[in-house]
Chain A
């Protein structure tokens, strides 16, 4: 057991991002504790992906800062950051023939020896990650032959092989069928509960977010408009103002 700590695993403090004169995010602040799983939701153009890019250091905010384990992002080296934070994109394009095992092995890039490459410990982590996701049987298959769902599981295994304590996901279930959506969501919950991985997932699907996450962040027009349990965040009034649709479509029941 790690000793209890008050420093959040991930903290965003007053972030502001502009693209030219257009504001994308303004004054967004929240903290995620170690081992907590949080879904980031909001309509298209709310700034979800920009926020994720700021947290991964790909986008420098105009104001505010991101802290990982209490340390400012700017003070952490890229290579060191990759050992702390893993990112799962929504879609992965594979340009060359590549076996599943070779894809998962890319998760070891931040850990492997720069010249000698993978060592036995890396191969153990790769095998463990594939087993964790349940794709060991696919290990010799070409990634491009897999279904989108299987491919996303392979990418997830790659992120797990990265051994990072924080996992950021950008719409990890987009294009997946229901079975694979549920499988990915259950895996994320399990990673948070059993391994203490901190999870922040951008999700489009409010129903999935509501079912599988205990805490939601709702972003709209570059502002954080709600932060709390699904019941607190997804009220009839937030849904109609933020998404502009009849809340019954989301919360069940017949449209009024």
Chain B
């Protein structure tokens, strides 16, 4: 039986602007890419030490595209741009892409509009891994990564692997069983996290920062490890748009539409978990991106994964890079706080405005 929840009054016709946007996904993609470029320049130019936009553009063109630009800026500006800000902005964008795609994938697979990238235990698994890493006094470095990143990554992957194994024991392993197991395993891991935090004493603050998410520690080595994983997972997800479409009406209908449901589910779940784990390892837990961005895009262009996925990726990158820019304006706020402050009210507004009476 289906139950309708939150059925707001339905506007008779959608506004002209939104309707024309829906019919032009390519224009939305191009606009998004322009915004990505603009956000990149802004993110690199603004900060404690502001660098003129023209210098920033010239530097980026000179170093990245090899344009013959006359060097007029001090070496210190170049250090700030290329060693500090560029990896940070690019990390924020990569994580924005990953969380948005993972969110869209989990929402589609679980057929649950409230699903986000953390729903199957990745968040608690990663947090527990990070907290344990902070308790261990040994400093290990591995490909430029600290123990924290490695354990957070392993914790996120491990949590979902456990959820998947356990939920399949009962037989076919319906996605509802996966979801409920995710909550159970997540709660268990959260208890472990609470215990670790209780024992951690002086490290409490660091764990706390990890839980709120930040790009302050972003660096080239970290980005260069996370980026291939995120690219791989993202390509896998975007290329399987058809499978996500087939699952829009449930797994049984997907099978009737010719899908090998088990295989596609495993591939999509694996790819979404991989990019989520890579993200939480480098940036901590940043909420709301993976929930809000796919919803916003879906409200504009509809549920077709072929447009939903690429547009979610593009606008996720813009959203998180802008949120990080806002987070470092007043000093250094946790970026997760910013995404929640922007994301939650905007999401509520859209839900009310555009009749999102979801059937659960």
Asked if B2 is at the interface of the complex by the 8 Å CB criterion, the answer is yes
Asked if A214 is at the interface of the complex by the 8 Å CB criterion, the answer is no
Additional A-B contact list (19), CB under 8 Å, known A95-B358, A109-B259: A78-B259, A87-B253, A89-B252, A93-B2, A93-B111, A95-B113, A95-B359, A95-B360, A96-B107, A97-B354, A97-B355, A97-B358, A98-B248, A106-B248, A106-B257, A109-B246, A144-B357, A144-B359, A145-B10
In the docked arrangement, what's the CA distance between A83 and B250, Å? 19
Interface positions, chain B 17-71, Cβ under 8 Å from A, are none
Q: Which of B255, B260, B306 is within 8 Å of A117, CB to CB?
A: B306
Contacts of A142 in B (CB 8 A): 10, 355
Interface positions, chain B 343-360, Cβ under 8 Å from A, are 354-360
A116 to chain B, nearest CB (A): 9
A97-B250 contact, Cβ under 8 Å, with A86-B256, A102-B302: no
Asked if A12 is at the interface of the complex by the 8 Å CB criterion, the answer is no
Establish whether residues B258 and A56, one from each chain, have CB atoms under 8 Å apart when the complex forms.
no
Asked if A137 is at the interface of the complex by the 8 Å CB criterion, the answer is no
Asked if A210 is at the interface of the complex by the 8 Å CB criterion, the answer is no
Establish whether residues B258 and A115, one from each chain, have CB atoms under 8 Å apart when the complex forms.
no
Establish whether residues B256 and A95, one from each chain, have CB atoms under 8 Å apart when the complex forms.
no
Contacts of A93 in B (CB 8 A): 2, 111, 249-250, 359
B226 to chain A, nearest CB (A): 26
How many residues on the B side are at the interface (Cβ–Cβ under 8 A)? Answer: 36
Asked if B192 is at the interface of the complex by the 8 Å CB criterion, the answer is no
Establish whether residues B248 and A97, one from each chain, have CB atoms under 8 Å apart when the complex forms.
no
Asked if A239 is at the interface of the complex by the 8 Å CB criterion, the answer is no
In the docked arrangement, what's the CA distance between A114 and B111, Å? 21
Establish whether residues B242 and A109, one from each chain, have CB atoms under 8 Å apart when the complex forms.
yes
Asked if B245 is at the interface of the complex by the 8 Å CB criterion, the answer is yes
In the docked arrangement, what's the CA distance between A83 and B246, Å? 14
Asked if A21 is at the interface of the complex by the 8 Å CB criterion, the answer is no
Establish whether residues B302 and A99, one from each chain, have CB atoms under 8 Å apart when the complex forms.
yes
Band of interface residues on A: 35 or more
Smallest CB gap from B302: residue in A: A102
Q: Which of A79, A89, A102 is within 8 Å of B253, CB to CB?
A: A89
Asked if B241 is at the interface of the complex by the 8 Å CB criterion, the answer is yes
Asked if A227 is at the interface of the complex by the 8 Å CB criterion, the answer is no
Asked if A82 is at the interface of the complex by the 8 Å CB criterion, the answer is yes
In the docked arrangement, what's the CA distance between A157 and B241, Å? 22
Q: Which 10 pairs, one residue from A and one from B, show the smallest C-beta to C-beta distance?
A: A82-B258, A79-B258, A95-B111, A87-B256, A110-B258, A109-B257, A96-B303, A93-B2, A117-B306, A109-B246
Interface positions, chain A 54-99, Cβ under 8 Å from B, are 56-58, 78-83, 85-87, 89, 91-99
Residues 219-240 of B, flagged 1 when their CB comes within 8 A of A and 0 if not, give: 0000000000000000000010
In the docked arrangement, what's the CA distance between A145 and B354, Å? 13
Contacts of A83 in B (CB 8 A): 258
Residue from B113, B256, B298, B299 with most neighbouring chain A CB atoms (10 Å): B256
Contacts of A80 in B (CB 8 A): 258
Mind listing 27 A-B residue pairs with CB under 8 Å?
A58-B255, A78-B255, A81-B258, A82-B257, A83-B258, A87-B256, A92-B249, A92-B250, A93-B111, A93-B249, A93-B359, A95-B111, A96-B113, A96-B248, A97-B298, A97-B356, A102-B302, A102-B303, A106-B248, A106-B253, A109-B242, A109-B259, A110-B257, A110-B258, A112-B242, A117-B242, A144-B4
Establish whether residues A96 and B253, one from each chain, have CB atoms under 8 Å apart when the complex forms.
no
Establish whether residues B304 and A96, one from each chain, have CB atoms under 8 Å apart when the complex forms.
no
Q: Which of A82, A94, A109, A145 is within 8 Å of B245, CB to CB?
A: A109
Interface positions, chain B 272-310, Cβ under 8 Å from A, are 298-299, 302-304, 306
Interface positions, chain B 288-339, Cβ under 8 Å from A, are 298-299, 302-304, 306
A165 to chain B, nearest CB (A): 15
In the docked arrangement, what's the CA distance between A102 and B112, Å? 18
In the docked arrangement, what's the CA distance between A109 and B259, Å? 9
B37 to chain A, nearest CB (A): 26
Establish whether residues B246 and A96, one from each chain, have CB atoms under 8 Å apart when the complex forms.
no
In the docked arrangement, what's the CA distance between A105 and B241, Å? 14
B83 to chain A, nearest CB (A): 39
A117-B241 contact, Cβ under 8 Å, with A96-B303, A110-B258: yes
Residues 93-109 of B, flagged 1 when their CB comes within 8 A of A and 0 if not, give: 00000000000000100
Contacts of B359 in A (CB 8 A): 93-95, 144
In the docked arrangement, what's the CA distance between A238 and B2, Å? 35
Smallest CB gap from A88: residue in B: B256
